[in-house]
A and B are shown apart, each in its own frame.
Chain A
Amino acid sequence: MTTTLYVPRDAAALSVDADAVAVRIAQEAAARGIDVRIVRNGSRGLFWLEPLVEVATSAGRVAYGPVATRDVASLFDAGFLSGGSHALALGVTDDIAYLKSQDRLTYARIGVIDPLDADDYAAHGGWTGLANAAALAPADIVAAVTESGLRGRGGAAFPAGIKWKTCADAVSEQKYIVCNADEGDSGTYADRLTLEGDPFCLIEGMAIAALAVGATEGYVYIRSEYPHAFRTFSQAIDIATQAGWLGDDVAGSGRAFRLHARLGAGAYICGEETSLLESLEGRRGQVRVKPPLPAIEGLFGKPTVINNVVTLASVPIVLARGAAYYRDYGVGRSRGTLPLQLAGNVKYAGLVEKAFGLTLRELLYDYGGGSASGRPIRAVQIGGPLGAYLPASKFDTVIDYEAFAAAGGMLGHGGVVAFDDTVDMAAQARFALEFCAVESCGKCTPCRIGATRGVEVIDRIRAGVDRARNETLLRDLADTMIHGSLCALGGMAPFPVLSALDHFAEDFGARQ
């Protein structure tokens, strides 16, 4: 009898030696004359448990982790292939509290299936949304996405259905679907998890978008920092094309959609949609002035839907289960689920896909388990490097786009980075502007020059030079950047700075 084991092939799992663990398990099994099949799945997103090894038993999949190569022999001794008890045993995977309490919709298959096995994907509900869409009129696909309440998960939270409708209504021989997989925000990895762990889900979402707006070509722009994701996703495109989910006749619809993966080149600004389009066209990634909207004049001047990975990967379930199913999750105008990504100084960092509506505190403490260092969490940055730093007094803010805006923050792509009380918030403020200066596309002065000047002013403040006057100068500079920048890099980089000044003034030295 062959026992099936799962050892993740996700880059994060590999970063803590999952490959070596897989090899060790195969060797040990061979030495003991035991027949095993090792599936290389994606990650469940419970990273403190990686490498998380699962065994298919009569009681379901049971988990062990974090497994090091030196643990492998003792796992065999303990009879882990039939779920035997061991210090690393975690019980039935689906019953692990962190996982069980989540609303895994977009990430339902992550860590469950072999990411490059299209049949495994189908066996877990894959391709149903696309098959349904192929039988619908394009306008009905757009209507389903609109009714689901799905908003863009890349940062700006713009309703996906409205964007699709604009593109669908544009008249053109050629239209494009572009997926923004630039995932530049620190503290985020949801896109990477999908690209590596459930790539067919993104492919399915893009094919549905193509049928909805009448696009025949698609591009996925993957950042160069993700070479592993690029390789996996490129393979997935080939497999899906061979299987007829992409190509000249998508899902038997009689319509064509060809998909291409492209690699970025280490520029944060290329996550901004118009800069990304410039980059895809082979130019410097400089931001375009809007209008025209990409939905009307996008890639190579043609109508283009550009959406984030998570947005597009959330579409298959909307088409498979219906708009109402998705919309019933969430609160207020934030419908469905958000894959939150816990990072930084927390004990249990990982992917938490939940319906909108839990509080930041629940996320940080019930899921995150508090800080990894055991010290108090002092500040949390949400929404990437342009997001405000929130102090403990704001931890009861509800995870909802509007509630976050009201609290002076933004959810962005859902990255949550915690810092303990050893953090120097003046240093964090300085970094925000240093980053802006490094990554500015150079098109407008407030961003290009302002960020560099801002760093200098913060240096003077930190050196104790004329605190009051320099703080005024810094706030003026921030104001100029906020109001005079063409895009959100220059326009939002001041937010972490101002939030640090407002909530953590003591870190900037005494006011004279």
Chain B
Amino acid sequence: MPPATQPAMILKEPGLAPDARRAVLDAIEPRRALPGALLPILHAVQDALGYVPRDAVPLIANALNLSRADVHGVVSFYHYFRSEPCGRHIVQICRAESCQAMGAVALEAHAKATLGVDWHETTRDGAVTLEPVYCLGNCALSPAVMIDGDLHGRVTPQSFDTLVAATRSGA
């Protein structure tokens, strides 16, 4: 059972802007009756907002009759879910073995140096968040990179720069 104080809390969720709150409720409503609804809801929230705001946790917990700790525990367990906003674009570089065998280590160093960030960080202009990923299923065309869900193969430091520049300029 959720704590008794919870229904009152959701009436005025301090941290969530009205739009974000609506997005969270829209993510919850069509999915709350699904068996094992939590992951589908978290995906929908992250798809809508780019992350799962901490203040969304009580709303989700309440809808699914879970404790906040349960929901928070799930959000924090999975690498894919983020609790903080990220850059406008997400660049994932594959760190796994096949890509290593084809130069991913050098690509990773190049990316960090040119973007001026480490893993999980966002460039100062807010454009790009850099994330490691362990295999994109594109191992026959290693090294592989995914940018905003689009896959790229045989990525070299040069083609990486071109891809990032195109992403930044919205191309």
| Contact surface of A with B, Cβ cutoff 8 Å | 11-12, 14-16, 45, 47-48, 50, 183-189, 191-192, 224-229, 262-268, 279-285, 300, 341-345, 349-351, 372, 381, 385, 415, 417-420, 423, 428, 431, 435, 438-439
Contact A343 B151 (CB under 8 A): no
Closest to B70 in A: A283
- In the bound assembly, the distance between CA atoms of A418 and B135 in angstroms comes to 15
- In the bound assembly, the distance between CA atoms of A96 and B140 in angstroms comes to 18
Known A-B contacts A192-B137, A282-B37, A418-B101; A11 and B151 likewise in contact (beta carbons under 8 Å): yes
- In the bound assembly, the distance between CA atoms of A15 and B152 in angstroms comes to 4
- In the bound assembly, the distance between CA atoms of A343 and B37 in angstroms comes to 36
11 inter-chain pairs at a CB distance below 8 angstroms, sorted by A residue, are A14-B150, A47-B140, A225-B135, A225-B137, A264-B80, A266-B79, A281-B36, A342-B140, A344-B142, A345-B101, A423-B101
List of B residues within 8 angstroms of A228 by Cβ:
149, 151
Extra pairs beyond A279-B39, A419-B100 (14, CB < 8 Å): A12-B138, A47-B141, A48-B140, A187-B98, A188-B139, A189-B140, A191-B137, A225-B146, A265-B39, A265-B80, A266-B81, A283-B38, A283-B74, A349-B140
Which of A50, A267, A343 is close to B142, meaning CB atoms less than 8 Å apart?
A343
List of B residues within 8 angstroms of A428 by Cβ:
97, 100
Q: How far is the CB of B102 from chain A (nearest CB, A)?
A: 6
User: Does more than half of chain A's interface fall in helix, strand or loop, or is it mixed?
Assistant: mixed
Which of A225, A265, A372, A431 is close to B97, meaning CB atoms less than 8 Å apart?
A431
- In the bound assembly, the distance between CA atoms of A345 and B135 in angstroms comes to 15
Q: How far is the CB of A398 from chain B (nearest CB, A)?
A: 23
- In the bound assembly, the distance between CA atoms of A385 and B39 in angstroms comes to 26
Contact B140 A265 (CB under 8 A): no
List of B residues within 8 angstroms of A227 by Cβ:
149
- In the bound assembly, the distance between CA atoms of A11 and B138 in angstroms comes to 8
Q: How far is the CB of B48 from chain A (nearest CB, A)?
A: 15
- In the bound assembly, the distance between CA atoms of A188 and B134 in angstroms comes to 11
- In the bound assembly, the distance between CA atoms of A47 and B78 in angstroms comes to 31
Bits for B14-43, please: 1 = Cβ < 8 Å to A, else 0. 000000000000000000000111111011
Contact A263 B43 (CB under 8 A): yes
List of A residues within 8 angstroms of B154 by Cβ:
16
List of B residues within 8 angstroms of A423 by Cβ:
101
Verify if B111 is at the interface (C-beta below 8 Å from A): no
Known A-B contacts A282-B39, A342-B140, A417-B139; A12 and B151 likewise in contact (beta carbons under 8 Å): yes
**How many residues on chain B are close to A (CB under 8 Å)?**
42
Q: How far is the CB of B131 from chain A (nearest CB, A)?
A: 9
Contact A280 B36 (CB under 8 A): yes
Task: Please indicate which of the listed interface residues B38, B74, B78, B137 has the most CB atoms of chain A within 10 Å of its own CB.
Answer: B137
Contact A16 B153 (CB under 8 A): yes
- In the bound assembly, the distance between CA atoms of A137 and B42 in angstroms comes to 41
List of B residues within 8 angstroms of A229 by Cβ:
137
Q: Within B113-154, which residues are at the interface with A (CB < 8 Å)?
A: 133-142, 144, 146, 149-154
Known A-B contacts A263-B43, A345-B102, A423-B101; A282 and B135 likewise in contact (beta carbons under 8 Å): no
Known A-B contacts A345-B101, A415-B139, A419-B101; A14 and B151 likewise in contact (beta carbons under 8 Å): yes
Q: How far is the CB of B137 from chain A (nearest CB, A)?
A: 4
List of B residues within 8 angstroms of A341 by Cβ:
139-140
Contact A385 B97 (CB under 8 A): yes
List of B residues within 8 angstroms of A431 by Cβ:
97, 100
- In the bound assembly, the distance between CA atoms of A439 and B142 in angstroms comes to 22
Contact B135 A15 (CB under 8 A): no
List of A residues within 8 angstroms of B81 by Cβ:
265-266
Top-6 shortest CB links A-B: A186-B96, A282-B38, A266-B80, A265-B78, A344-B101, A343-B139
Contact B102 A372 (CB under 8 A): yes
Contact A344 B98 (CB under 8 A): yes
Known A-B contacts A11-B151, A417-B101; A349 and B141 likewise in contact (beta carbons under 8 Å): yes
List of A residues within 8 angstroms of B102 by Cβ:
344-345, 372
- In the bound assembly, the distance between CA atoms of A486 and B36 in angstroms comes to 25
Contact B38 A349 (CB under 8 A): no
- In the bound assembly, the distance between CA atoms of A285 and B78 in angstroms comes to 8
Q: Within B53-77, which residues are at the interface with A (CB < 8 Å)?
A: 64, 70, 73-74, 77
Known A-B contacts A266-B78, A285-B77; A185 and B141 likewise in contact (beta carbons under 8 Å): no
- In the bound assembly, the distance between CA atoms of A186 and B144 in angstroms comes to 12
List of A residues within 8 angstroms of B142 by Cβ:
343-344, 349
Q: How far is the CB of A419 from chain B (nearest CB, A)?
A: 5
Contact B151 A186 (CB under 8 A): no
- In the bound assembly, the distance between CA atoms of A367 and B152 in angstroms comes to 24
List of A residues within 8 angstroms of B35 by Cβ:
281, 300
Bits for B77-93, please: 1 = Cβ < 8 Å to A, else 0. 11111000000000000
Contact A265 B43 (CB under 8 A): yes
Closest to B146 in A: A225
List of A residues within 8 angstroms of B39 by Cβ:
262-265, 279-280, 282
